[in-house]
Chains A and B, each alone.
Chain A
Amino acid sequence: MIEHFSYIVTVFLMIAGLYIVIARGNLIKKLVGLSVFQTSVYLLYLAPGKLLGGTAPILAPEYGVYSNPLPHVLILTAIVVGVATLALGLALAVRIREVYGTIEEDEILALDHRIEEAEEQGEEHRA
């Protein structure tokens, strides 16, 4: 149990994040879920990359054991990607709020449905 602690946390965050994305209708809450989901992946890479008692990869006689730095580098990239995704998602949410006046998914769908009906009626009118 204790030696699998980091995996349990990773999987819990993964499932919780994915659940929030799917189950919530609020655009901001969906983005929160997406961020939690992406963060769980950082742990998936980082936790196995840590050696207990290992240092940073420094070439010196007094350090014998060091952790592989590659997972950290990869996740640094993934964090940048996650930040960019979140920023773009929030920017879209702001624009949606401006034109629709709401950030609830079901209300947006209802508004779109109303436009489509209006378009159809307008077309019948013209015909």
Chain B
Amino acid sequence: MSLATHLPALQVVLPLVSAPLAVLLRHGGVAFAVVTAGAWAAFATAIGLWLEVGQLEHGAFISYHIGNWAPPWGIEYRVDRLTSLVLLLVSGMAALVLTASRASVEREIPRESHYLFYAMFGLCLAGLLGITITADAFNVFVFLEISSLSSYVLIALGRDRRALAAAYRYLIMGSIGATFIVIGIGFLYLMTGTLNMADMAARIGAIESSRPVLAALAFLTVGISLKLALFPLHQWLPNAYTYAPSVVTAFLAATATKVSVYVLIRFYFSVFGESLVFDKLPLPQIMLWLSLFAMFAASFTAIFQDNLKRLFAYSSVGQMGYITLGLSFDSVNGLAASIVHLFNHGIAKGAVFLLIGGLVLGIAKPGSAPPTPSFDRLAGLAKRMPLTCLGIVIAGLSLIGVPGTAGFISKWYLILAALESGQPWLVGAVLLSSLLAIAYVWRFVEVAYLRSPAPGHEARMEAPLSLLIPAWLLVAGTIWFGLDTSLSLGSALEAAGALVRSGR
């Protein structure tokens, strides 16, 4: 047995081990090195798995049996095209954000808790990767709680005291969501007698319309929707993103809600099956309207925010609307739009929040805690921090969906799916909501580029290179995936093709 056969286990184990190591070493710098190395190792593993899946035939998957216990009795890890794409996103974002984190963490988190911060980051990463890779329903819950509990701690470490209240609120809402998910899984387990998702799917056909299965679907939908901040269950998100430390916001905004979408796709398409979810229940209509509300209400709210972080937090809720809108079509193009937007939006939001972390460092007075990035503090900042501001604008263009950026690809497929489903008015809705995105990105452009800086604050001071380089790699990613879509869109289409009507 070579190391390569154990890649699926290593994917989770490497970052998982880095967390307790960081605690034992009790030193901020060393903990940073260990957890960052763990994240890069996870990223390398994800690339390895990606290549391995690429060699398989269409729709095939890698199955790994933990402890050599054969499924459905043992826990199975399963990697198909969709899984490996999400693994790439999560581990890649973690590796880049962690590499960029040092300067920001130095200023925003008390020195004595640096090693604990990095340990929590490692745990959160391990949890998110575990949710993605596992094919065991109860295992999903366990990893979900590992990542959630560590993200509550990460958010509570923010400098502002409102971070504590935000973390508490997220803990309550997140735990309710997770408990709903366990209730749903419990019903499924009671009815099918198995926890392996593929096994569940095979047994669910005969009892599809029984009441416990429908109840399970309802509990899982509400629970996961809480986790992915589907409008109107997004109340925890804006404050949590606003008051969390900058690097935490960058990582969570890019990955946590995206992994929840992945779980929803898994349960809908791989466990319950489309005929139950989309044909027998009015779920597509409900999801369509909630997505539209998110796209408009949240983006509209974003325009009127005075805090740049909160503005982009509301934009995240709006962008999640596009992802769930794609799901509601139940077509290959719709699902592909969701998956590709999940990927593209993750990269763009990661870049935006990382660069905002740079802005905050730039406007901080020496020796004092970094201030909130409110608009009056950002006036004329483009002259002082040209690269940081330009990066935010380019990633912002991707949020709008300007041709040539990654966001355009997702919206294009969303529009295709809307036309296919015979709802051309949705094209107008997508375009109209993009106008709202132009408005909130323009607010930043106006303040940073067109206003003049306060007198005495003209000196040039760019964010540190250790932060700028990883952030600009992400910015370059938003352009790259807008031009060469073979990786993002290619695999999204392949994954969607394998999931949608896989029985046919």
Are A123 and B374 closer than 8 Å at their CB atoms?
Answer: yes
Interface check B289, CB cutoff 8 A: no
Cα separation A74 to B186 with both chains bound (whole Å): 10
Of B37-45, B161-169, B293-301, the segment with at least 4 beta carbons within 8 Å of chain A is: B161-169
Interface check B152, CB cutoff 8 A: yes
> Could you tell me the distance in whole angstroms from the C-beta of B369 to the nearest C-beta in chain A?
14
Cα separation A89 to B167 with both chains bound (whole Å): 9
> Could you tell me the distance in whole angstroms from the C-beta of B10 to the nearest C-beta in chain A?
23
> Could you tell me the distance in whole angstroms from the C-beta of B287 to the nearest C-beta in chain A?
23
Interface size on B, residues (CB 8 A): 28
Are A96 and B162 closer than 8 Å at their CB atoms?
Answer: no
Interface check B172, CB cutoff 8 A: yes
Please provide the chain B residues from 285 to 309 with a CB less than 8 Å away from any CB of chain A in the complex.
Answer: none
Cα separation A81 to B175 with both chains bound (whole Å): 10
Q: A41-B179, A127-B376 are in contact. Are A34 and B142 (CB under 8 A)?
A: no
- Bits for B164-193, please: 1 = Cβ < 8 Å to A, else 0: 110110011001101100110010011000
Interface check B463, CB cutoff 8 A: no
Q: A77-B142, A84-B149 are in contact. Are A99 and B164 (CB under 8 A)?
A: yes
Q: A18-B176, A37-B176, A48-B190 are in contact. Are A78 and B167 (CB under 8 A)?
A: no
Partner of B172, one of A30, A123, A126: A30
Interface check B145, CB cutoff 8 A: yes
> Could you tell me the distance in whole angstroms from the C-beta of A26 to the nearest C-beta in chain B?
12
Cα separation A59 to B416 with both chains bound (whole Å): 60
Are B162 and A34 closer than 8 Å at their CB atoms?
Answer: no
Interface check B138, CB cutoff 8 A: yes
> Could you tell me the distance in whole angstroms from the C-beta of A86 to the nearest C-beta in chain B?
9
Interfacial chain A residues near B178, Cβ < 8 Å: 81
- Bits for B341-377, please: 1 = Cβ < 8 Å to A, else 0: 0000000000000000000000000000000101010
Cα separation A37 to B181 with both chains bound (whole Å): 13
Q: A37-B176, A81-B142, A126-B376 are in contact. Are A92 and B183 (CB under 8 A)?
A: no
Question: Quick one: which of A74, A92, A95 has the most chain B CB within 10 A?
Answer: A92
Cα separation A79 to B153 with both chains bound (whole Å): 20
Interfacial chain A residues near B145, Cβ < 8 Å: 81, 84-85
Interface of B is mostly: helix
Interfacial chain A residues near B495, Cβ < 8 Å: none
Are B164 and A92 closer than 8 Å at their CB atoms?
Answer: yes
Cα separation A18 to B222 with both chains bound (whole Å): 14
Partner of A41, one of B152, B168, B182, B372: B182
- Bits for A92-107, please: 1 = Cβ < 8 Å to B, else 0: 1101100110000000
Please provide the chain B residues from 430 to 482 with a CB less than 8 Å away from any CB of chain A in the complex.
Answer: none
Are B161 and A85 closer than 8 Å at their CB atoms?
Answer: no
Interface of A is mostly: helix
Please provide the chain A residues from 48 to 95 with a CB less than 8 Å away from any CB of chain B in the complex.
Answer: 48, 71, 74, 77-78, 81, 84-85, 88-89, 92-93, 95
- Bits for B109-149, please: 1 = Cβ < 8 Å to A, else 0: 00000000000000000000000000000100110010001
Q: A38-B175, A41-B182, A88-B153 are in contact. Are A112 and B162 (CB under 8 A)?
A: yes
Interfacial chain B residues near A85, Cβ < 8 Å: 145, 149, 171, 175
> Could you tell me the distance in whole angstroms from the C-beta of A107 to the nearest C-beta in chain B?
11
Interface check B156, CB cutoff 8 A: yes
Interface check A108, CB cutoff 8 A: yes
Cα separation A92 to B157 with both chains bound (whole Å): 11
Beta-carbon nearest neighbor of B372 in chain A: A119
Cα separation A1 to B176 with both chains bound (whole Å): 29
> Could you tell me the distance in whole angstroms from the C-beta of A101 to the nearest C-beta in chain B?
11
Partner of A95, one of B164, B172, B175: B164
Question: Quick one: which of A74, A77, A119 has the most chain B CB within 10 A?
Answer: A74
Interfacial chain A residues near B186, Cβ < 8 Å: 41, 44-45
Please provide the chain B residues from 64 to 96 with a CB less than 8 Å away from any CB of chain A in the complex.
Answer: none
> Could you tell me the distance in whole angstroms from the C-beta of A31 to the nearest C-beta in chain B?
8
Interfacial chain B residues near A84, Cβ < 8 Å: 145, 149
Interfacial chain A residues near B161, Cβ < 8 Å: 99-100
- Bits for A23-36, please: 1 = Cβ < 8 Å to B, else 0: 00001001000100
Are B168 and A27 closer than 8 Å at their CB atoms?
Answer: yes
Interfacial chain B residues near A96, Cβ < 8 Å: 164-165, 168
Partner of B176, one of A21, A92, A119: A21
Please provide the chain A residues from 1 to 25 with a CB less than 8 Å away from any CB of chain B in the complex.
Answer: 14, 18, 21
Interfacial chain B residues near A34, Cβ < 8 Å: 172, 175-176
> Could you tell me the distance in whole angstroms from the C-beta of A47 to the nearest C-beta in chain B?
10
Q: A92-B164, A112-B162 are in contact. Are A37 and B179 (CB under 8 A)?
A: yes
Beta-carbon nearest neighbor of B144 in chain A: A81
Partner of A108, one of B138, B165, B175: B165
Are B138 and A74 closer than 8 Å at their CB atoms?
Answer: yes
Beta-carbon nearest neighbor of A124 in chain B: B376
Interfacial chain B residues near A44, Cβ < 8 Å: 183, 186
Q: Would you list the 4 A-B pairs with minimal beta carbon distance, nearest first?
A: A99-B161, A81-B145, A92-B168, A96-B164
Q: Could you show 27 A-B contacts with beta carbons less than 8 Å apart? A: A21-B176, A27-B168, A34-B172, A38-B179, A44-B183, A45-B186, A48-B190, A77-B142, A78-B141, A81-B141, A84-B149, A85-B145, A85-B149, A88-B153, A89-B172, A89-B175, A92-B156, A92-B164, A92-B171, A93-B168, A96-B165, A99-B164, A112-B165, A115-B162, A119-B374, A123-B376, A127-B376
With A21-B172, A41-B183, A88-B152 known, 5 other A-B pairs at CB within 8 A are: A85-B149, A89-B175, A96-B165, A99-B164, A100-B165
Point out residues on B near A: beta carbons under 8 Å.
138, 141-142, 145, 149, 152-153, 156, 161-162, 164-165, 167-168, 171-172, 175-176, 178-179, 182-183, 186, 189-190, 372, 374, 376
